[in-house]
Structure 1
Amino acid sequence: MKNKFKLLFTACICISTLSIHAQGDFSMKADKSEEEGYVRTKDPLVKANLDKWQGYKFGVLIHMGLYTQLGFLESWGLVPEPWVTRDGYDNYNKYAADYKNAQYKLNPTNLDSEKWAKMVKNAGAKYLIFTSKHHDGFCMYDSKFTDFKITNPALPYAKNPKADVLKNVLDASRKEGLAVGVYFSKPDFGTEDFWWSYYPPKDRNPTYDITKFPDRWKNYVKYTQNQLNELTTNYGKVDILWLDGCWVRPLSTINKRVEEYCKYPYDMDIDMKLISETARKKQPGMLVVDRWVPSAYEDYLTPEQVTPVKPLSVPWESCITLGNAWGWVPNDNYKSSKEVVQLMTSIVVKGGNLLLGIGPDAKGEFDPKVEKTLAGVGKWLAVNGEAIYDTKPVAPYLDGKLGYTQKRNAIYGIYMPTKDEKELPAEITLKTDLKGSLKAILLSNKQKLTSKKVNDGIVVSIPKELRTSLASQEAIVIKITK
C-alpha cells in the first residue's frame, strides 16, 4: 500500500498488514504474559458491566481527525523518531505545518451519524468507540480547554449544526441500542504543556524535562484531567473510557513488555486514580481501559493487531484494523467479510472480543468496500450469532479449521473454510466431552444432520447437495446438544 508516508512496526502501534490463516487465525505475538499485572475489579457495578461487555464479542472503533483530511496514517508523521518516514516530504517542518493546517480544510459535510450507527448495528456489532482526540491533540468534540478542535469558529465545519462530531456519533449510536465508548489519547502533541514549542520534539514524549519545569507538567496533567472530566460529564452515558498512548504512565509501571518504547526517564503520572474515581461518580460502573498499563484502571486487556495463542483467564479485546490503517487512507486493502468472521471466531473461541478499526474519508463517508464487508459480517451474524454472542470458550477452543464455543448445554462447532476451499468434507469430527446421545443441526437453516458418537466427540455428515454452497460461506456453525 502506498500512502503519504509509510510507517514501520512498533509494538504499541502496529499497523502492518496482517494475513489471515486458513483457519481464520493471525500470526501471534500476544500470549499469557498479557495477563501479568492484571488487577481484577472489586467494584460490583464495574464487574457487572464487564461481564455484560464480555458477551458483546464484537465492537467497532472509528478513527477520525486531521489525518482523515490528509489521508495520512494518524498522528505518527509528527513524531521525529527513526522508524517514521514521510513520503512526499523532505522537510519535517513543512510536513508538520501541512498537518496542522489541515484543520482549515477538514469539512466532512456528508457525515451522517445516524447512517454510521445503523451501519455498525447492522454489522452485528454491540458497541462503538469513537476518537475524541488522537495523539496530535485535535479534538473531534467541543472541548472548552482548547481551540484546537473541530468546533473552533474559525474552522469550516464549525458552522455545521452537528459540528460536535463526538456528541452526534454517541447520541446516534445509543439510539440504535449500541453501547458507546470514548477513545482519548493521553499524550497530546498539540498543547504547549506537552510539546512545548520552545524545544523541538525529539520523539513522542514531552519536549522538555518535566522535572525542571514541574509547573508546566502540572498544567498538562490538569489539562488532561479536565478534558476527561468534560468527556464523562457532558456527553451522556459512556460505557467505556478507552485511553491510548501507553507511554504516558507512572515510571514504576514500565515493564519488559513496554520498555522498548517507554524511554522517557521521568514519571509521567496523570493520576489515574483521581481520573477514574471522578468519572465514575457520574458514570457508575463505567469500564476504564488505561491500555497496557497494568493497574486497577485497565479493566480489560487490548492486544493490538494480534490475538493470544491460547485463551486468557482475564477479559480481553483484540483491536484490529479492517484495512492497513486505523483511519482512512487512499486505496487501503480491506479484509473481506469472510476474513472478518473467521478473525472474530478465532478471538471469540479464546474468550475475547473483536474491536474492528475503520475510518471515514474527509467527506465523512465510508469506502463502499468497508460498507460491503460490514454488511456481509452482519448478514452472517444475523443467522449464526447464537454461536458468538454471550458464549464461553470451551476446549479444544481452536483446532485446525474448527473453533468451539459454548452456551448453556449447547456446543457450537464453527467450521472455517479456507479461501480456496470448493467443497466441504463429507464428514466433520467435532471434539466434545458431552456425554449421552447427541444431536447435531446446521445452525443456519436448523437442518438436522446425521451424526454418530465417537470416543472423543461426534462425527457429523454434511449432505452432498450442501457441500459446495457451504464452502463459499464465511463459516459454518454446527450446533451440538443432548
Structure 2
Amino acid sequence: MKTLLLAATALMAATTATAQTKSPWPMDYQAKPVEAQLAKVRQGVANGPFRAEWASLQKFQVPEWFRDAKFGIFIHWGVYSVPAFANEWYSRNMYVPGNAAYEHHLKTYGPQSKFGYKDFIPQFRAERFDPAAWMRLFGEAGAKYVIPVAEHCDGFAMYASDFTKWDAADMGPKRDVTGEIAKAARAAGLHFGLSSHRAEHWWWYHKGRSFPSDVSDPRYAGLYGPAAPTGLPADAPDAWPDSDLLQNWGPPDRPFLNDWMARTSELIDKYRPELIYFDWWTSSPLFEPLMRDTAAYYYNRSAGWGAPGIIAYKGSQFAEGSAMFDLERGKMDALKLTPWQSDTSVSIKSWGYTKNDEYRTPKSLTADMIDIVSKNGNLLLNVGPKADGTIPEEIATVLRGMGGWLKVNGEAIYGTRPFKYFGEGPTKSGHIRQAGQFTEKNVSAFTPADIRFTTKGDTLYVLGLERPADGAVLVKTLFAGTPYLDAPIADIELLGTGAVKWQQTAKGLSVTLPAVSGDTMPYALKVRFRKA
C-alpha cells in the first residue's frame, strides 16, 4: 500500500498546486474539472497490476493482435486542412514572421490581428465526412487498425472534450469526430487507437505574441493557450520547420501539465483506445512523472476492460520495455527483438492535407512495409483528408494499390514473425539508432538483390523488394547447407502464380520467376519444408 501511495505522489502534489498556482499565460483552464479528473487518475494508478514505476511498467507486453496486424492507418485531420498550405504546421507558422505560411496568410487572408487561425474553424465543416466510407477504403487497403490524431499541436480537439469548448463537437463540424471514427472502425472489425500532440501546445503559438495578432487576445486563450516562449533542445533534428525552435528551451508550468494529464486520461476513459501514440515533446523532463502516471493509468484501465493497451513513443520519455518505440519517417536497419512501429505518410510534404502535395507510390510503400515487417515492425501509414471530410483520390489510389498486393501476398505479411535473419541485399534502409527519425528521404531505391524474410509456423516467406525483369533470383542466405534452415526445402511457389523452378547451390537458392516487363510490385515466395 505504501508503494502505491508513493506512486501517486506526483499527481497529488500536482492537484494541490493547481488551486494555488496561476499560469503566467492565459489558458482555457478549469481547475475543478481538472482536479476531479486527476482524482480519477490517482485512483487508477493505485489500483491495478501496474505501478507508476519504471520497473513495474517494464512488464508491459505488446498484444498479439498488434504483432499480427502489421499495417495500420494514421489520420491527420483538423482545422489546418482549411488553408491547406505547405504542411500541418500552418497554425503555428502563420504567426512566424518570415515563414512562407506567414507571407501566404497576409497575402490571402489579411493581417493576423484581423483574421487568425480561429477564423478557419467555421470553414472546417466536414460536410462530406463519412467514417464508414473511410473504413471501407482502409479495409480495401488491407489495414488492420486506425489511429486518428485526437488533438494536434494547434489546440483544437477533434473529439468531445469536457475541458475545452475549442473542440470539433462544439465548433466547426460540431461532431465528435474521434468518437465516430472509433465506432466505425470497430464496426468494420478494425482495431482503434489515437494520437495526442497536446504537449507541444505549450509553446505552439508563442511567435504570435511578437507582433499584433489575435494570439494575444484573451478571448481566444482557449485555443491559443500558453503560447509560451520555449522550443526544442539544442540536439533536436534539423527536420523541424524553423530554426527558432532550437532556442529558448523552457519547461511547462504545473497548470499546463495538470491539464495535459486531464485531457489524456479523458481520451482513455471516453474512447478506450487499444493504442496511444504520443508525439515528441512529452520527452521534456517535466513530463517524466506524467509519463509514468499515464502508462500506469492506461495499462491498468485497459487491463480492466480486457484489451491491454499499447503506448507508442518516439523520443526518450519511456524506459526501454515500458512502451513501444516508434520511428517517424524512418526505419530500423536491422531486426529488433521487440515489436516496434514506423509511421510515414502517403503524402510527401505534409501529414495533413495540402494543395499541390506529392505522393508516394503503392510500390515504394509496399516495399517499405515488407522491410519493416521483416525487422519485427508495423507500418502506420498516414492519410490527410480534405476539410470537407473526403480523402484525396491520389491517396485512395495508393491505398487500393497496396490492398491489391496484400490480397495476393498478405499471408507473407499478416500474422508472421521474423526469421532468424531479416534479409539480405546492398540497400541500407534505415538507422538502428534513435537518429533514424526522419531518414526515409535518405534511403536509396531497392534492387533485385534486396531480399527480406518472414515466417509463419513451419513456412518461410522470401520477399523480393524489386522483381528482376529476367526472373532470375538468387537468395544468398539460403545456400546449400545453410545453418538458417532446420529442414530441407520441399517446394516453392510464387504467391498468386504457383510453383516455380528452384535449386540450392553453394552460391545460394536460385529461383526462376516468370519474366516481366515494366515497373512491377514486390513479390513473395512461399517456401515449404520436408517433414522429418
TM-score range, shorter chain: 0.7 to 0.9
Matches within 5 A, 1:283-294: 283-284=302-303, 285-294=308-317
Matches within 5 A, 1:255-266: none
User: 1:409 pairs with 454, 458, 463, which one?
Assistant: 458
Partner of 2:496: 445
State the alpha-carbon separation in 2 of the partners of residues 268 and 437 from structure 1.
53
Is the contact made by 1:140 and 1:164 (CA closer than 8 Å) also made in structure 2? yes
The letter for the 2-side match of 1:171 is K
State the alpha-carbon separation in 2 of the partners of residues 323 and 95 from structure 1.
32
Count of residues paired in the alignment: 407
Matches within 5 A, 1:13-412: 46-47=60-61, 49=63, 51-72=64-85, 73-75=87-89, 78=92, 84-86=99-101, 87-89=103-105, 94=112, 97-152=115-170, 155-158=171-174, 163-185=175-197, 186-188=199-201, 189=204, 192=221, 217-235=253-271, 237-244=272-279, 246-251=280-285, 267-269=286-288, 271-284=290-303, 285-296=308-319, 299-324=323-348, 325-394=350-419, 395=421, 397-399=423-425, 400-412=449-461
State the alpha-carbon separation in 1 of the partners of residues 90 and 344 from structure 2.
18
Is the contact made by 2:229 and 2:250 (CA closer than 8 Å) also made in structure 1? no
Is the contact made by 1:194 and 1:220 (CA closer than 8 Å) also made in structure 2? no
CA deviation after TM superposition for structure 1 residue 145, in Å: 0.5
State the alpha-carbon separation in 2 of the partners of residues 477 and 107 from structure 1.
44
Bigger radius of gyration among the two: 2
What RMSD over aligned residues (CA atoms) do the two structures have, in Å? 3.2
CA deviation after TM superposition for structure 1 residue 239, in Å: 0.4
State the alpha-carbon separation in 2 of the partners of residues 40 and 363 from structure 1.
46
CA deviation after TM superposition for structure 1 residue 360, in Å: 0.5
**1:424 maps onto 2:453 in alignment:** no
State the alpha-carbon separation in 1 of the partners of residues 466 and 55 from structure 2.
37
The DSSP-based 3-state class of the residue aligned with 2:325 is: coil
Partner of 1:480: 527
The letter for the 2-side match of 1:78 is R
Is the contact made by 2:366 and 2:522 (CA closer than 8 Å) also made in structure 1? yes
Query: How does the TM-score come out when normalised to structure 2?
Result: 0.69
The letter for the 2-side match of 1:289 is A
| Bigger mean CA offset, 289-298 vs 107-116 | 289-298
Pick closer, same or farther for the CA change 1:170–1:206 going to 2, 3 Å.
farther
CA deviation after TM superposition for structure 1 residue 344, in Å: 0.8
State the alpha-carbon separation in 2 of the partners of residues 219 and 122 from structure 1.
44
The letter for the 1-side match of 2:66 is W
Pick closer, same or farther for the CA change 1:193–1:292 going to 2, 3 Å.
farther
Pick closer, same or farther for the CA change 1:218–1:201 going to 2, 3 Å.
closer
User: 1:459 pairs with 481, 490, 510, which one?
Assistant: 510
Greater share of residues in helix = 2
State the alpha-carbon separation in 1 of the partners of residues 249 and 328 from structure 2.
29
CA deviation after TM superposition for structure 1 residue 137, in Å: 0.8
User: 1:468 pairs with 503, 511, 516, which one?
Assistant: 516
CA deviation after TM superposition for structure 1 residue 198, in Å: 8.5
Pick closer, same or farther for the CA change 1:273–1:437 going to 2, 3 Å.
closer
Partner of 2:481: none
State the alpha-carbon separation in 2 of the partners of residues 200 and 452 from structure 1.
65
CA deviation after TM superposition for structure 1 residue 427, in Å: 4.5
Q: More relative contact order in 1 or in 2 (CA 8 Å, sep 6+)?
A: 1
Is the contact made by 2:129 and 2:390 (CA closer than 8 Å) also made in structure 1? yes
Deviations, residues 196-228 of structure 1 (Å, cap 9, x unaligned): 5686777669999668xxxxx222112111111
Is the contact made by 1:132 and 1:183 (CA closer than 8 Å) also made in structure 2? yes
The DSSP-based 3-state class of the residue aligned with 1:60 is: strand
Partner of 2:30: none
Is the contact made by 1:187 and 1:194 (CA closer than 8 Å) also made in structure 2? no
| Bigger mean CA offset, 296-305 vs 365-374 | 296-305
Gaps of 5+ in 1: 1-38, 212-216, 252-266
State the alpha-carbon separation in 1 of the partners of residues 138 and 287 from structure 2.
36
The letter for the 2-side match of 1:234 is K
Is the contact made by 1:391 and 1:405 (CA closer than 8 Å) also made in structure 2? yes
State the alpha-carbon separation in 2 of the partners of residues 401 and 48 from structure 1.
29
State the alpha-carbon separation in 2 of the partners of residues 225 and 198 from structure 1.
18
Pick closer, same or farther for the CA change 1:370–1:386 going to 2, 3 Å.
same
Is the contact made by 1:131 and 1:184 (CA closer than 8 Å) also made in structure 2? yes
The letter for the 1-side match of 2:139 is K
Pick closer, same or farther for the CA change 1:436–1:207 going to 2, 3 Å.
closer
Query: How does the TM-score come out when normalised to structure 1?
Result: 0.76
| Bigger mean CA offset, 53-62 vs 167-176 | 53-62
Identity rate, percent: 23
Is the contact made by 1:108 and 1:363 (CA closer than 8 Å) also made in structure 2? yes
State the alpha-carbon separation in 2 of the partners of residues 42 and 270 from structure 1.
13
Pick closer, same or farther for the CA change 1:398–1:171 going to 2, 3 Å.
farther
| Bigger mean CA offset, 51-60 vs 96-105 | 96-105
The letter for the 2-side match of 1:239 is E
Deviations, residues 149-206 of structure 1 (Å, cap 9, x unaligned): 1122xx3422xxxx11000001111111111111101222478599656867776699
The letter for the 2-side match of 1:53 is F
CA deviation after TM superposition for structure 1 residue 106, in Å: 0.3
